[in-house]
Chain A
Amino acid sequence: MTSAAESVAGVVESAVAAAGGVFGVAERAIRAGRIGHTAASVYLRIKTPRWWDRLVGNDPAARDMSGVHQRNAEQILETATALKGLLIKICQVVGTRSDVFPQAYVRTLSRTQDRLPPRPFEQIRAVVEADLGAPIGSIFRDFAQIPVAAASLAQVHRARLPDGRDVAVKVRYPDIDDIVQTDLTTSRWICQIYERLDPQPMALLPLLDELQKYLALELDFEREVENAERIRRMFANEERVVIPAVHRELSSKRVITMEFVEGIKVTDRLALERAGVRPRRVVEGLLAIYNQMILAHGFFQADPHPGNIFIQPGPRFVIVDFGLAKELPKNFGLGIFELMFSMMTYNEAAMIRAFRELGFRTKTGDESTYLEIARRMIGASEDGAFRGEFTEEMTDELFDAIRENPIVEVPIDFVLVSRAFSLLSGIAHTLGHRANILDSMAPGGDGAAAAPR
């Protein structure tokens, strides 16, 4: 593990320790039991028919599993919705991977990207009043009891300040630290059992490790406010980028009060077209904005899932949720660029240099591992030639390759950047376009003027 990752893991542990005791043994057991039950049902529903087929000599591949997948997806969604926390995070990841998981899961689980049943308002009020030190009615002129969105770690309410301005108030669930810890423990436990049961298990544990790193970052609201302000300053001169301004005096460790922003969900193609926004413009603009953050400025909002991006006519790009933002090392952007470039030209010496510069390490010093990784990524791109898009297929292949070559040490920054690019690629594909990073950063701008098409 890199040192950054270690310190993050440390943060999670201490956060959990600090909150220890509040969350009872019984709650913990109930959560664990429910998750375990769901996991077992899903696993058996998939495996039993296959075992049966093998027993009677049918071809297991020929069986139509869509009904099974649908039932599984619904059960997972139900459990996740009831328990929230980490499970929602996992569902969100599945919900953006239309190319990895069967459609039934993607369609069903992507619902976790916006609407979940909210927590009772009293819980929310308690947090706001405790943290802001006054009754809710004296701070806000109105405060909607029904939230705009209930997400995995927090929920967002619309409210109005005494001076009439509309704000969004993001409130962390009071018991979230414990929930996250229980879910992590339970999921880890389930993964271990699963790996023993399945002769060819998917490598879920490393995924869980990654998730744990991000979660610690996302739980710290003061950091989130800093992040938002920094990116807001970055785009101060760009009218097309909208980052909600934060009311610092009404924010705390568990509460963020910010300007209320509106827009069309970025993947809602129909609504975009109805508003006269061309999906191609959305893809180009979004990519240009992320390139600016990642490659040019080296500081970025690392969670561009469709629930965090809204489009206003123009198009203008509204970005919310800075829970996960990351400062990159100096010239990391150049490193990413060099890697893409070497893959585009199949230049192996350059690939090795790029991986090394990005902070990859092989424990044995055997650098052919890098080539194996790059080859597999290139192989997973659309026509077997890398042209500048980090598709979801490619990042998946990348992580598979890394997992299968346990001698490699991967910089967390790289994980976050490639995840962000693959999320953007997912959005682009939903809108019927491609997210070509090289095109977008090429001289000539957003890729509109110079890019041949």
Chain B
Amino acid sequence: MRLEYTRDELLTSHAYEEPLIAGDVLCHGGFIGSGYVSPRTLHRLPAIGAWQDRLRREGLPLLNLPTEYVPPHYPSYEQAKYLLQEGITDPITRSLTIISIVEGFGARIRDLPLPDLHATFVEDVGGTAIAHLGGGLVEAHARDEAGHRREGGHKQMWEAARDLGLSKPELPGDILLRMMMGRRRPERRREFPELPAVTENLVAFLTGVMIIEIVAEDVFEWAKALLGDPEVCRQNRAAAAMVAHIQQDEKAHVEYLRTALSEMRARTFVGADGTTHVPGATVVDRLFEVGLRGIVSTRPREDRERLREEIHAAIEDRAEASRIASRFEELDAGWTFPKGEDEKLDLLLETAAAPR
């Protein structure tokens, strides 16, 4: 199997028979036969498969995030459906719009400063996902999220899903306000001061993105169920299909990230002084855990509180507000992160399985 690919190859799409058009907006990807094919995957997916094969041949494990660590979407499908049934659309419109904006911000990954990756590790990185990060993988990811030139990306696809499902709802005037509210986070602490800052930032950033991509799985399931529900959504089939296309595209992201990080775990980082060595697994596992704690435990708690307030404010305007509010709360299944503050997380690893 080939392990070296050019940047152009990693950015090349299939020859689609039909493009994907969302509303009146041209998007990426397209159809061959009756199936949707993700953009820029003609070589990208086979390449990721080849790098994962190599890990497996070398007997190395693959990073994994257990599903029980992933917080469910709030409000839940049942709660959201109930709100729509009561005619309370703004919170859902807002959520879907914010998701589209956040997806668009995914393009900023291309501004991530990359160190010289050959000098970052003691071992060779030839023929790995690591070596291809700057050679097309990150750029493909950026384009998938925000779109590129004529083609819209996930940002536009989420907007389309929202407009199909909720019949082009009027956008509340406070979307950016809500999005930016409570978003200030403390600066991340350096965990490995002996490493060059750019190296630690790279690992922290990639682990963060990988966690977010996996957490998003639940957002997809939620959106497919809600927007695909004919009782509350008009063009439910088209809306759910759009979400499914996005979900399919994201597979490539999770897989290249998990591959590159697993390759890093199997190597040794070179310290800022050029002589100190730090085992890759130590660095990746630590940063993965720190990121995971932040993203799936602290953040959902805060976000959930904020959203809950926002939804109750929207209910307040209704006649029968208290009945709606208590019904809404009844439907809340709740969630807590299964591990305590100092409890060790399960080792997030599985032996490299056959690539999906």
Chain A: residues with CB nearer than 8 A to chain B? 288, 291-292, 295-298, 330-331, 333-334, 337, 341, 344-350, 387, 438-439, 441-446, 448-453
Contacts and interface: CB of A to CB of B under 8 A. Distances in A.
Interface in B171-210: 171, 173-177, 179-181, 183-188, 201, 205, 208
B104 interface: yes
B335 interface: no
A406 to B, nearest CB: 29
B180 A337 contact: no
Interface stretch (B36-44, B52-60, B147-155, B216-224): B147-155
A125 to B, nearest CB: 44
A341 B146 contact: yes
B102 A334 contact: no
B236 to A, nearest CB: 26
A449 B185 contact: yes
Contact of B173 (A330, A348, A443): A330
Nearest to B183: A445
Contact of A295 (B150, B171, B176): B176
Contact of B176 (A288, A296, A446): A296
Interface stretch (B3-11, B75-83, B106-114, B256-264): B106-114
Contacts of A442: 105, 108
B26 interface: yes
A406 B174 CA distance: 34
B205 A341 contact: no
A350 B108 contact: no
A333 to B, nearest CB: 5
A84 B146 CA distance: 49
Given A345-B148, A438-B105, A298 B173 contact: yes
12 contacts: A292-B180, A331-B171, A341-B146, A341-B155, A345-B107, A349-B25, A448-B187, A449-B185, A449-B187, A450-B208, A452-B111, A453-B201
A334 B173 CA distance: 9
A97 to B, nearest CB: 27
Given A441-B179, A445-B183, 17 more contacts: A291-B180, A295-B180, A296-B181, A331-B173, A345-B148, A346-B148, A347-B152, A348-B149, A348-B150, A350-B156, A387-B111, A444-B185, A448-B185, A449-B187, A451-B108, A452-B108, A452-B201
Contact of A345 (B111, B147, B173, B185): B147
Nearest to B156: A350
A347 B201 contact: no
Contacts of B112: 452
Contacts of A445: 183-185
Contacts of A292: 180
Nearest to A337: B176
A345 B153 contact: yes
A30 to B, nearest CB: 51
Nearest to B175: A334
Interface in B292-333: none
A439 B108 contact: yes
Contact of A438 (B108, B152, B179, B205): B108
B226 interface: no
A89 B305 CA distance: 47
Nearest to A332: B173
B101 interface: yes
Nearest to B114: A452
A347 B185 contact: no
Interface in B132-154: 143, 146-153
Contact of A337 (B101, B113, B149, B185): B101
Given A334-B175, A453-B201, A341 B183 contact: no
Looking at A346, A348, A349, A448, the one whose CB has the most chain B CB atoms below 10 A away is A349
Contacts of A344: 107, 146
Contacts of B173: 298, 330-331
Q: Which of the four size classes fits the interface of chain B? A: 35 or more
Interface string B151-168: 111011000000000000
B176 A333 contact: yes
A295 B107 CA distance: 20
4 residue pairs, one from A and one from B, having the closest CB atoms = A296-B177, A445-B184, A452-B112, A449-B185
B180 A296 contact: yes
A442 B101 CA distance: 9
A439 B183 CA distance: 13
Contacts of A341: 104, 146, 155
A232 B334 CA distance: 37
A163 B163 CA distance: 59
Nearest to B153: A345
Contacts of B152: 347, 350
Nearest to B108: A442
Looking at B25, B101, B143, B186, the one whose CB has the most chain A CB atoms below 10 A away is B101
Contacts of B171: 331, 334
B154 to A, nearest CB: 12
A399 to B, nearest CB: 25
A443 B176 contact: no
Nearest to B24: A349
Contacts of B146: 341, 344-345
A132 to B, nearest CB: 38
A297 B153 CA distance: 28
A348 B183 CA distance: 31
A346 B152 CA distance: 10
Contacts of A288: 184
A374 B109 CA distance: 23
Interface in B221-273: none
Contacts of B149: 345-348
A442 B155 CA distance: 14
Contact of B180 (A334, A350, A439, A441): A441
A449 B105 contact: no
Contacts of A441: 176, 179-180
A340 to B, nearest CB: 10
Contacts of B150: 347-349
Contacts of A333: 176
Contacts of B175: 331, 334
A451 B105 CA distance: 10
B26 A349 contact: yes
A449 B155 contact: no
Contact of B113 (A346, A347, A438, A453): A453
A288 B185 CA distance: 13
